[in-house]
Structure 1
């Protein structure tokens, strides 16, 4: 079994990396595809939705459409959380980048559009957080804000 290698990252170091990405403008309401996990994972995700903060990275909650307890968003352009996503293929890559933030492991993927996608590792459900390019300047602040709710609602283990 491949385990994603985690490199502890100091938040300011990643902030510099993410800030180097640059900025662009985006507007409009956010939308997000709603995952369709198994019933046990859906229940974990509903518990996560109840535990999520009203603010992430000092941005108010503004959920994407369609409305679902499996998705959440903050700000505009939105930081988007999706719970119950499929296991990313990149988790099988021994060279994949991973970070640990306040006890929660994340797979780190830079997207072609300049955004970053983080997916939890070693949890009973996969939680994905996408930080748009316009929001990358604060580094891992969104993951810091989301770590406690993820730890509370999604137990450690291997997702089905």
Structure 2
């Protein structure tokens, strides 16, 4: 069974990403992921995420941002007007990621995992997918595949 969070906006009042509110198994997986995240991603040093949370992380300036326990993306939600079962995805070191172009970079969201992990990468770090290589091991280890 897939656990998701609800009611998350893209940004909180501060500069950082909105903090997801996963519950149950998803929250436990996200806490484990947070503890196992690498100190560097694509050569960028991990920084304090604002607001501080065990469900978010950041690297570099501008920030590569990670949020764990986010809701299922609209393009992956049957019945949603944006549903697209053929949306573009990429496999990086054993982790499948949905790709969504944003105005200033890409948003990647895991697919086929028991919790959704989202990573946003600014255009400054093109090719943006490179940041995912350093995150794959931690995601595979802490956020199991759906059965």
Is the TM value for this pair above 0.5?
yes
Bigger RCO (CA 8 Å, 6+ sep): 1
**1:84 corresponding residue in structure 2:** 69
**1:106 corresponding residue in structure 2:** 97
Question: Which has the higher Rg, Structure 1 or Structure 2?
Answer: 1
- Deviations 1:27-72 (Å, cap 9, x if unpaired)? xx95110001112211100000111000000110013211001000
Once residues 55 and 119 of structure 1 are traced to their aligned partners in structure 2, the CA distance between those partners, rounded to angstroms, is: 19
**Runs of 4 or more consecutive aligned structure 1 residues displaced over 3 Å after TM superposition:** none
When you count helix as a share of all residues, which structure comes out higher?
Answer: 1
Show structure 1 runs of 5+ residues with no match.
1-28
In the alignment, is the contact (CA less than 8 A) between 2:105 and 2:128 conserved in 1? no
Q: What is the TM-score when the length of structure 2 is the normalising length?
A: 0.82
State the number of aligned residues: 128
**2:106 corresponding residue in structure 1:** 116
Q: SS of the residue aligned with 1:84?
A: strand
When you count strand as a share of all residues, which structure comes out higher?
Answer: 2
Q: What is the TM-score when the length of structure 1 is the normalising length?
A: 0.76
Q: How much is the aligned-residue C-alpha RMSD, in angstroms?
A: 1.4
Show structure 2 runs of 5+ residues with no match.
1-13, 77-82
Once residues 84 and 124 of structure 1 are traced to their aligned partners in structure 2, the CA distance between those partners, rounded to angstroms, is: 9
Once residues 71 and 36 of structure 1 are traced to their aligned partners in structure 2, the CA distance between those partners, rounded to angstroms, is: 11
**1:68 corresponding residue in structure 2:** 53
Pairing 1:132–2:122 present = yes
Deviation at 1:76, TM superposition (A): 0.4
